[in-house]
């Protein structure tokens, strides 16, 4: 999952970026409203954490522009504790949730996971597909109850396939959603990560749909169809 943080406090944006990366997210950071609007307008994010008190362009205006342009990614806004009017303006502009500063990082992570779950049509952080369990809260995965060791990119790929299980995901979509902006986003590396994942979770769990992409399957369910 790929997240954009738009926050002008460098210490806070760095802290949030590090925490989110540790939890398996691909993260981009913008330090003002103009840069944030540009990234949100040109890159496909799964969610955005948006401070409202931004320089150059304020957060409410950024959000209004995104929604006017048809951007539907969930947005978690950050507001000053005493600015209740900002919360109202944020919701009116199209925000999905909010946090007041200062906040506990765990709460931000929980709210962000909830937004991502709802956007993908899930109700819990744990996704199970035929003996494979992906725990997005702990950034871990298990096969038949046994933990498997994954790199951050392998987990991002598996998590994205699990969040959209049953749907064919193109290489382009995977590249756009598991790498941050600064990564050398070569679609050929997706094949490498898929190959590694197959060795770790089972070769029959990720289907290659020729010319279209990849799909996460429940092998037992597929065998029953035959």
Q: What pairs with residue 27 in β-bridges? A: 3
The CA distance from 178 to 185, in Å, is 9
**At residue 194, what are phi and psi to the nearest 5 degrees?**
-65, -40
pLDDT, tens digit, 9 for 90 and up, residues 87-140? 899 999 999 999 999 899 999 999 999 999 999 888 889 999 989 999 999 999
> Considering the entire predicted model, what is its pTM?
0.86
The CA distance from 92 to 86, in Å, is 10
Contacts of 92 (CB under 8 A, 6+ apart): none
Which domains, ranges and CATH numbers included, belong to the chain? 2-120 (3.40.50.2300), 126-225 (1.10.10.10)
pLDDT, tens digit, 9 for 90 and up, residues 9-28? 999 999 999 999 999 899 99
Strands (E), the chain: 2-6, 26-30, 47-51, 75-80, 97-101, 126-129, 132-135, 140-143, 146-148, 206-209, 213-216
- The token duo for 126 is 């744990």
């Amino acid at each position: 999952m790929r997240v954009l943080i738009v926050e002008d406090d460098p210490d806070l944006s760095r802290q949030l970026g590090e925490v989110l990366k540790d939890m398996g997210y691909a993260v981009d950071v913008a330090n003002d409203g103009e840069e944030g609007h540009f990234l949100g307008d040109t890159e496909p994010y799964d969610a955005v954490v948006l401070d409202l008190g931004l320089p150059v362009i304020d957060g409410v205006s950024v959000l209004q522009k995104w929604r006017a342009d048809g951007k539907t990614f969930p947005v978690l806004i950050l507001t000053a504790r005493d600015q209740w009017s900002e919360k109202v303006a944020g919701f009116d502009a199209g925000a999905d949730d909010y946090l007041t500063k200062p906040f506990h990082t765990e709460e931000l992570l929980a709210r962000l996971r909830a937004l991502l779950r709802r956007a993908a049509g899930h109700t819990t952080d744990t996704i199970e597909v035929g003996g494979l369990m992906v725990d997005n809260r702990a950034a871990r995965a298990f096969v038949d109850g046994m933990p498997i060791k994954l790199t951050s990119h392998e987990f991002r790929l598996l998590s994205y396939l699990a969040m959209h299980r049953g749907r064919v995901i193109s290489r382009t979509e995977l590249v756009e959603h598991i790498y941050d902006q600064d990564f050398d986003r070569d679609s050929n590396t997706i094949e490498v990560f898929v190959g590694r994942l197959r060795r770790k979770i089972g070769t029959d769990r990720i289907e290659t749909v020729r010319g279209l992409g990849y799909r996460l399957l429940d092998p037992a369910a597929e065998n029953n169809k035959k």
